[in-house]
Structure formats: C-alpha cells, structure tokens
Structure 1
Amino acid sequence: MKQNKNIIITGTSRGIGYELALLLAHEGHQVLALSRKTPQTLIDNENISCLAIDISDFEQLNQVEKFIHTVWDNKVDCVIHNAGSLLHKPFEQITAVEFEQVYKVNVFAVAELTKICIPYMKKGSHVVTISSMGGIQGSMKFAGLAAYSSSKGAVITLSELLAEEYKEQGVAFNVLALGSVQTEMLQEAFPGYEAPISAKGMAEYIANFALTGNKYYNGKVLQVSSTTP
C-alpha cells in the first residue's frame, strides 16, 4: 500500500514548481506550496495547502513551522527546494544588493527552510535541491549569469555537507542540476531558445526522484540535462 507523504515545495507559482505541486497532489500526497503568488488552481486542490510568502524573508518562513505543527502533526517527509531567482546582467553592473538578493532566494532560503524542517524529518526523509548545470564545476558557463550560476554551485556544496551531517538521522540530501527546460525563467535567460523538455515533463522526473531517489543516492548531484543551455 502506497504511503502518502507530506511534501513541501518552493517556487510553485509557475513552471516546474507549479506542475510538481499538481502532480504530487494528484498522486494523493499532501503538498505545502510556497510562493509569493498563489495560482487559484493550487488553492482549489484539496491536497494542496498554500502559503503566499517570500522565502527570502525569514520572518515569513516562520509560518512554515507553524503549519507543520498545527496541520501536519509535526511530520515532513520531503522538501523540494525549487524556487529560484535569476539575474541576467553583466557582472560589473550587478550591485551588491542584487547579488545578495539572488543568494537570499537561491542559497540562504534553502538553508533556512531546511533548518526549520529537519527536526520534523525522520529516517527515510528526502531533501531535494533543484540546481542548474550552470552550477556544475567544469560545465559550460554563460556571460551575465555570475550571481545565478555561482549561487547554484553553492547549494550543491551545501547539500553534500548536510548529507554527511544528517546521515545518522537517516535524512537524505540530493541535488538535481537541470539543463534547459521550457519555462519562463529559461526565456528570461535565453530569449527565444526552445528547450526539448517541458516544465511538466521535468516535474514528472523530479517527483519520482523526490519519492524514490533517496533509496539509491545521498549527497549526490545528478546532472539532468539533454542539451546546453
């Protein structure tokens, strides 16, 4: 008998995160969807709970812990760090504030949300961070993505460290470094480029990995890419 899980997903207003929330809810899992904007289709789904918050604001992130206490009876099975902030700008024109904001969403919020959830995650739980091929050492790099790609490299190392730190607790940490997926964010980075994989198609892969990947991997980075960019 399949056990339904409590799954937290960030960045669910559009793209991969939106499709992930719908897919996992359809499979019967309980989903907590975190994004600044909340699509009505997610609100209307009985298996999805929505919190309209800015994950880079740690005060707002505290609402997640309250939810875990009051609704989920202190149990989290899976966290999918999908939210991402993209800045496409020449390096010398990036302000310190802009650089920090990208890291607040792509790195610091990942760390803070993980810190909130860890006490409620038992053996067999899984934390999946969605990174990018741009964060892989030795991969092809693209001008204008200094803040974004370096932040995606940072969460790879963070996940490797947390996998070691929490292995005795039985919580697995893995990273999926995605190549090009047909999303709004891809169009912002590479206008006019057509990716071979849809957001829904990639969501299907991520959902399956989130539910089963921890049986085979811990502290690993899987490159999920068929094309460059």
Structure 2
Amino acid sequence: MANIIITGCSRGIGFELALLFADEGHQVLALSRNAKPILDLSHPNISAFPFDLCKESDLQKLNIFLKEWDTVNLLVNNAGMLLNKPFLETTAQEFREVYKVNVLGVAEIVKIVLPMMPKNGHVVNISSMGGVQGSVKFPGLSAYSSSKGALITLTELWAEEYKETGPCFNVLALGAVQTEMLEEAFPGYQALTTAREMATYIKEFGLTGHRLYNGKLLQVSNSTP
C-alpha cells in the first residue's frame, strides 16, 4: 500500500480520487482549503486538514505532518484555480492569484515532498488541454490556460533534473470534466466525462504510469475542450 498526497480534495476529481485510493487501502493525505467534505467521510485511511498551498503557514503544517510518514510514493497536484474573464478585464492581481495556485503553489509542495519520495515515486501534475500548444483555445482563459501551459513545462524540466534519482514526473492535460469548478466558470456547459470517471483514470495512472512514462504530457480528453 502507498502513501499518497492529493491536493484540491474538497470536491470534484480530488474528492473522488482520495476516496478511490483510500477504499483500496492506501494511506491518503487529502489537502484542500475546505477540509470539511473530506473529513466528514471519517475514512480510516484519509488524513486531512485545511490547507491553502499559497500560505507559508499551511506549507509548514504539511512539513510537520510528513514527519509521521517515512515516505511519499505518489503526489497528485490536482488543486487549481479556473478564471473565465476577458483579458482586458482581468486584473494583475487576478492573474497573480491564478499563477500562485496553478504554478507557484505546486512548486512549493514539490519542494517539500520531493526529499521523501523514492526513486520509483511518482508526481502527477494535473494540467488542462487549454495549456497544450496547438490545442483549441477559448477566450476568457488567458490566465488559466497559460498557467497550465507553464505547469506542463515545469513537469518536463523536473523529470529531466531528477531522471537519475527519481521520482518520475508526468502531467495529464484534462479535457472538460463535469465538476463544480467547470459549472462555476461555464454555467450550463455539460461535459461528457464525470469526476468519478476521470478520478478512476488518474488513480490507475498514478499507481502505474511511472513504469512507462517520465517527463511526458498525456492528453486525456474525448471532447473539445
């Protein structure tokens, strides 16, 4: 059984992912700003506490918790901020907030967890089809899609830097998934994929994908977006 950290677990894909791993017997640290939904499960294999990856004090909380674990086998950076707003109406502060969550916060968590990961450990970063060069782009997503493109490049760089010592780094560019975050950004849009379906795929990839992939971007989408 693995020790697994997942961010963005209050709802949607992260919530389903934490539950799937825990039901298989893995030990899961489920991190999100709103920890109540995951704590309400009272699952014996899930640990959780309120966590904002942009706050230094919460990053220190993570450091303290990890003293209870000998190793971290899998890190899934799932937390994200989606902003749908015309570029000229997007403030510099809004741009910074999106990048703090989708890029800088991920980098800070990787810094903390990396020393605890074995050579065969796996870091899975959750990006978006909007961040893939050459993919169809949509107006209003300047901050979000560009930040997800940065995450793709970071993944490739980390895989190269740690290819001799591990862990492996891979990134999944997801298409539209029917989650609360999607509904908030695009009211009325109906995606073809449920959060549970996508979480099931990510679970299997997290546990096995590093055997065949390192530094790779996989496009996980059956639609445009």
TM-score w.r.t. the length of structure 1 is: 0.95
Q: Indicate conservation of the 8 Å contact 2:9/2:38, yes or no.
A: no
Correspondent of 2:94 among 89, 95, 98: 98
Distance between the aligned counterparts of 2:23 and 2:48, measured in 1?
15
Distance between the aligned counterparts of 2:36 and 2:178, measured in 1?
19
Per-residue deviation at 1:41? 4.7
- Deviation string for 1:89-140 (max 9, x for gaps)? 1101111111000000000011000000011011100000000000000101
Q: Aligned ranges for residues 102-113 of structure 1 at < 5 Å?
A: 102-113=98-109
The size of the alignment, in residue pairs, is 224
What amino acid is the match of 2:158?
L
| Corresponding residue of 1:212 | 208
Matching of residue 127 in structure 1 with residue 123 in structure 2: yes
| Corresponding residue of 1:187 | 183
1:102 to 1:28, Cα distance in 2 relative to 1, 3 A: same
Distance between the aligned counterparts of 1:199 and 1:222, measured in 2?
18
Distance between the aligned counterparts of 1:210 and 1:19, measured in 2?
14
Distance between the aligned counterparts of 2:64 and 2:87, measured in 1?
39
Find runs of 4+ consecutive structure 1 residues off by over 6 angstroms. Answer: none
Q: Indicate conservation of the 8 Å contact 1:180/1:195, yes or no.
A: yes
Per-residue deviation at 1:200? 0.4
Distance between the aligned counterparts of 1:209 and 1:41, measured in 2?
22
- Deviation string for 1:1-36 (max 9, x for gaps)? xxx001000000000000000000000000001101
Matching of residue 68 in structure 1 with residue 66 in structure 2: yes
Matching of residue 139 in structure 1 with residue 135 in structure 2: yes
Structure 2: gaps spanning 5 or more residues:
none
Q: Indicate conservation of the 8 Å contact 1:134/1:141, yes or no.
A: yes
Distance between the aligned counterparts of 2:57 and 2:147, measured in 1?
22
The secondary structure found in structure 1 opposite 2:149 is helix
Correspondent of 1:58 among 49, 56, 59: 56
The secondary structure found in structure 1 opposite 2:213 is coil
Per-residue deviation at 1:63? 1.1
- Deviation string for 1:134-155 (max 9, x for gaps)? 0000101111110000000000
The secondary structure found in structure 2 opposite 1:151 is helix
What amino acid is the match of 2:184?
E
Q: Aligned ranges for residues 32-47 of structure 1 at < 5 Å?
A: 32-43=29-40, 44-47=42-45
Aligned Cα RMSD in Å?
1.0
What amino acid is the match of 1:35?
S
Q: Indicate conservation of the 8 Å contact 1:8/1:33, yes or no.
A: yes
Distance between the aligned counterparts of 2:166 and 2:101, measured in 1?
26
The secondary structure found in structure 2 opposite 1:142 is coil
Distance between the aligned counterparts of 2:137 and 2:188, measured in 1?
18
Per-residue deviation at 1:189? 2.6
